[in-house]
Amino acid sequence: MSNVALLFPGQGSQMVGMGRDFWNNFDVAKKLFEEASDAISFDLRKLCFEGSMADLTMTMNAQPALLTVSVIAYQVYMQEIGMEPAYLAGHSLGEYSALVCAGVLSFHDAIKLVRQRGVIMHNADPDQKGTMAAISGIHLDTLQNICEQVSTIERPACVACMNADQQFVISGHRHSIQEIIKRTETLRTKHSYINVSGPYHSPMMQTAAEQFKVELDQYQYAHAKYPVISNVTAAPYESDRSVVDYLTMQMTMPVRWSESMLYLVANGVTEVIELGSKHVLVSLMSKITKRIVPYSLSQPSDLLMLTNTQERKNKRLTIRKKLLSELIVTALISRNYNTDSISYTQTVEPLFHQLQRAKEQVNNNEYELSEEEINDALQVCHSIIIAKKIPLDGTALIDAI
């Protein structure tokens, strides 16, 4: 099974010139830009290459532009590298890119759909009562408690994106958001308002969600070729729940991005590749976990690293060595919770000599552990942790390696 996941960015990753280098080097980019322009009846390529940042940032423009460039990057990835992913995940709008690349939605339909999504989202708050703000330096529980204290039916506010540890986005009525920021400033948090036209992923989008569901119901959805992580559940789409349900809920519910990435860790993913403009998700990954190597494919020159299989292997080995070092300590010093002393003794005692040897090899900077030796040492750690019945994330951590 592949240990690679592909990630797709959402709004905030748009930039003037996005997709131009792909256009200059790959016929598939020309084809997809043309198809996108036909679908929404305006020149999307011209907007991306020559438009103003103000026009490109408009929600109804940014959404089809970002989806187009992400799907182009995916097609280039499959054409030039071809390693099928274990999972796909997209941040907010990026979930649509993931669904297209998983074969759930056709590209033509998705472009029309996200254009309409952008229009509905833009019109959801005509009086500009809502806003969004990024906030960092605070624990999630604390922030959620403050949101609950401040939020009312008339002026709702909530955590809209859980992007990384102590890095969130809040969304809702402007007065409530201002009050939340005022209260959190005493905790030495940092904040910045986000230039958007509505309070996305909040209860204030309920009417927009109902309107958008009508649009969603008009399209056909196929079975996914690859598991797609839902923003709403931080887990793959379940077969007994419709795509329409997931995408409707996404309009009002938070983006559980950090949880989604930790799901990938727990299910054996060791590399992620962000497909699209900028490196927003790569940057977030470094704040979420050190157990995954992040890459970006935002321009053709990125293929140099992605096709360097030896360099990528070396990066994976470096991470596995670091994790092995942590697991050795866990296996050696953790308390034994196994009440069956005979079973424990028979299982663990013969392994301690091997574990001690592995520890010496890991700590010896002059000794280069081979991949086989790392695998053997990991198996020893796994056996000891299981035998000790340690009530920790030990087994999940090993599975992730």
| Residues identified as active-site | 92, 201
Q: Sort 215 into a burial class: Cβ within 10 Å, 0-12 / 13-18 / 19+.
A: middle
Q: How far, in Å, CA of 111 to CA of 113, rounded? A: 5
Q: How far, in Å, CA of 382 to CA of 394, rounded? A: 8
Distances (CA, A) of 393 to 277, 385, 396: 35, 10, 5
Secondary structure class of 163 (helix, strand, coil): strand
Q: How far, in Å, CA of 319 to CA of 43, rounded? A: 44
H helix intervals, 167-302:
174-185, 206-216, 243-250, 257-266, 280-288
Quote the DSSP letter at residue 238: P
Q: Nearest-CA neighbor of 276 among 59, 54, 92?
A: 92
Secondary structure class of 173 (helix, strand, coil): strand
Q: How far, in Å, CA of 16 to CA of 266, rounded? A: 37
Place of tokens 């997931």: 246
Distances (CA, A) of 8 to 29, 151, 192, 266, 279: 17, 31, 23, 20, 10
Cα distance from N-terminal residue to C-terminal residue, the chain = 13
Q: How far, in Å, CA of 195 to CA of 220, rounded? A: 33
CA–centroid distance for 36 within its chain: 25
